[in-house]
Chain A
């Protein structure tokens, strides 16, 4: 972080200090063919300490940067954005934030300036999700001591929190990762021994994946070369969950390349599955239809024939289903028939 140094340099040259901050609005978001996700373009805007609309924000920005620098140095503490907002009160009247969106914006400005997700400076998102399966994790406990835990030795999986997100992967026998949208289906797969049958790590997303979960999926994929399969509800929201894991969101374009897993694959439940398995379904809402039409022209998926085909089917049948609707065939069907067929189609390793 050269933010502070740049300021001091300008002062010493008797200049009014300024800061260049990458623009995060949609106009400056571009698709990166190399990383296969949206990233920020080159455009920046400049804040000047001589502009009274900027000086307070700039002061708060260097304060937040300084604060998180201390956190990183210390090494055991993490704060959420909400905590940061409250802690700012201890900085006095001039520096404290009046509304949380103000501190949130500055955190994002810093992320964009340093080109790293905020987790790197110990400002963490609220954790959500858990992991189950044979993998030993090495993590630093709150007192700084290194410990190891195997995610198969726990009752219902390991909670993905700040320490888990940063853990080292000590050892695993798994071949693949299955990320599951709902807690219900995650528990189902545990109880049906899917982790053994597919030699898999099961990750419970608990709805839209939190940044911690996306980060750990990316790390498992890159560091251990484990292919990732995403198993969601058969609706545009489920598909959205998958696409965010795969290519990130426009909102987080400034940190996408640290969070997304471009080679992850969407298992379904697909629109074709709704027909083929005669799943209990509901009508698509207008919002759903709008979302599908957006995805049809999204540059990230233009060339994905399977996805495009499914989007067409969706519009045609006009219906959506939950992943648990597969239970109409009883408990075992999902691991005995549905997933094997899907994983085979996607050429997952170790599946005949």
Chain B
């Protein structure tokens, strides 16, 4: 058998990594500001959030479903956190725990309704998106919480590593490692993947699929809430509109990262680091396009073209590696 090509090279992650490096080179040479400290710091914050949002979507895509309520859920959790800190005076650490629990709870609702009613998660989360967001607006009357403890908001603008990197990025990368560990090296992670890949077979093999699906939704809620906290720290306030109307602004990065990262939309496959690289790639391109000055009105156009190019290249890479692994 032919094993000249190392396994890592065959993966989607490798293709992404190459693309990321290529774009870093292009942008560093063709623009002034790209490698400036300010820009890299700014990038690190944006990437941090996009990774977290992407992961939150990824764990539901794992089940073959989608979580449209992601943004609404994240904002609701963030607003809950703002309320805890500002109105209730609850200390930061406890607030964070409460918010993560709250996010998991909203995720549990998504999962429970999906599993128990048999209605597809696409529709369930379409509805809960409206419901969560509606309740959030109703309860907060669209008022922001902006008198947050300074220790908390300062964390969002803290600069590490010679002022190049935001601590938020470290949280996201750590989360990636934890998730990678869970999916690769634990019983529960394997069961989540198996349940997502073929629910019937998994069920008959003694896995409680319903429970696994609910776990995935809870994990999604947890990660979305974490993203909500991170965004709150970054903008220094909990704001109802921080993910746009109905939390929609989060949906595109949420899809882009895992999808570029090679997560299978039909479920049963996760690529934690692929999602991370996907988020990095999108952020890089977006930032680079602004710097290159294609004219902001055309940014989306070029972003689309590059995305298309990236997935086509990846397909070409796959084709090439498969062809080379054929025995002759």
Do chains A and B interact in one complex? no
Q: Which residues of A contact B (CB under 8 A)?
A: none
Q: Which residues of B contact A (CB under 8 A)?
A: none
